[in-house]
Amino acid sequence: MAREVLNSVVKGSLWLGGIYSYLPRRIQQVLSVPLGALLYWLASPRRLVVARNLSLCFPSLSEAQRLTISRQFFRNVARAFLDLFQLWRIRENDLKQLVKLENLELFEVAKRGFIEQGRPVIVFAPHFVGLDAGGARLQLEDQLVCMYSNQALPAIDAWIYKGRSRFNQPLLISRRDGIGQLVRALKKGVTAHFSPDMDLGRRGAEFVPFLGVPAATQPSIIRLAHLTNATVLPMVTFLTPQGYRAKFYEPLSFPKEESLAQGLARIHAFIEARIAEAPDQYLWAHRRFKTRPEGLEPVYPPKRAKIG
């Protein structure tokens, strides 16, 4: 019963969010600031995770500097979330204005690789707060196949699924169903939009330093590249004062003779370089270091622990 009530409340909130999406852009940005501040104080467990991640990854920064990044991160999260109501409603031309796409020629060259050499494309999109904005913009260029995580509340799940299904009939595959469908789509030339930079547990993971901290990292993107001979093309989407900037970078290569750890270290180096450009836009609320190498103590308190 409680879940049904909560689902109804969420439906009402999503309706209000739809109204918000029609407000002028300037007013939207003004409203996102107090919401970000409210989110910072209300989401205390996540606030603790962000603080812990920043202390681990930026030990040379002062506490005041890390606090500044943390507060701005929550403002960015609030703005990116509110922007979804607009991103998942507006027309194609308006979406192109809101999310500027840079270095599109790199994507076009990679796509020709499938026509000429049978090499599909994996767009590697790390978890920056503008991830969904970049994904929506990329849908205008090509059909995509993506993995997604099912949400606990049906209203949220349906809203996200509908929002991510707007253009070019994307193939959305639940993580529960495994990666087989994604492989088959890749081999047919469908572009994969892939975000593997999360801690998904110990099974199959390699422990590779991320900003100096051992991080359990799945080598799935490297295995996919080897299996399908795909081109791995990074794309990072940044928040800007005007909207978003989705930028393609030169392809990453993963020679089969090198170890998985070496390839993952190169992926981490790429993400670290982008974090240096916008340290308050990476997804610090994720428990990136929850899986620890044998013998090392946990870095986060148990989820049920009370947060002061």
Residue-wise pLDDT for 65-117, tens only, equals: 999 999 999 999 999 999 999 999 999 999 999 999 999 999 999 999 998 99
**Is the per-residue pLDDT at 8 higher than 60?**
no
Look at residue 6 in the predicted model and tell me its pLDDT. 47
Q: Give the torsion sign (CA, 96, 94, 75, 5).
A: negative
Query: Taking a C-beta distance cutoff of 8 angstroms, is the pair 37, 74 a contact?
Result: yes
- Distance between start and end Cα atoms, the chain: 30
Query: Taking a C-beta distance cutoff of 8 angstroms, is the pair 198, 288 a contact?
Result: yes
pTM beyond cutoff 0.85: yes
Query: Taking a C-beta distance cutoff of 8 angstroms, is the pair 240, 96 a contact?
Result: no
> Which residues partner with 207 through β-bridges?
216
**Is the per-residue pLDDT at 307 higher than 50?**
no
Please indicate whether residue 288 or residue 2 has the higher confidence score (pLDDT): 288
Look at residue 306 in the predicted model and tell me its pLDDT. 43
Look at residue 308 in the predicted model and tell me its pLDDT. 33
**DSSP letter, residue 126:** -
Q: What is the overall mean pLDDT for the chain?
A: 90
Query: Taking a C-beta distance cutoff of 8 angstroms, is the pair 201, 239 a contact?
Result: no
**Is the per-residue pLDDT at 270 higher than 90?**
yes
When pLDDT is cut at 50, 70 and 90, the band that residue 12 belongs to is low
**Is the per-residue pLDDT at 170 higher than 60?**
yes
Low-confidence winner among 2-16, 73-87, 176-190 (lowest mean pLDDT): 2-16
3-state SS assignment for residue 195: coil
Cα(251)–Cα(195) distance, integer angstroms: 15
Q: Hey, what's the torsion of the CAs at 171, 177, 180, 183, to 10 degrees?
A: 30
**Is the per-residue pLDDT at 207 higher than 50?**
yes
- The C-alpha angle 132, 133, 135, rounded to 5 degrees, equals 60
When pLDDT is cut at 50, 70 and 90, the band that residue 305 belongs to is very low
**Is the per-residue pLDDT at 225 higher than 90?**
yes
**Is the per-residue pLDDT at 230 higher than 90?**
yes
Question: Looking at residues 127-152, what average pLDDT do you find?
Answer: 92
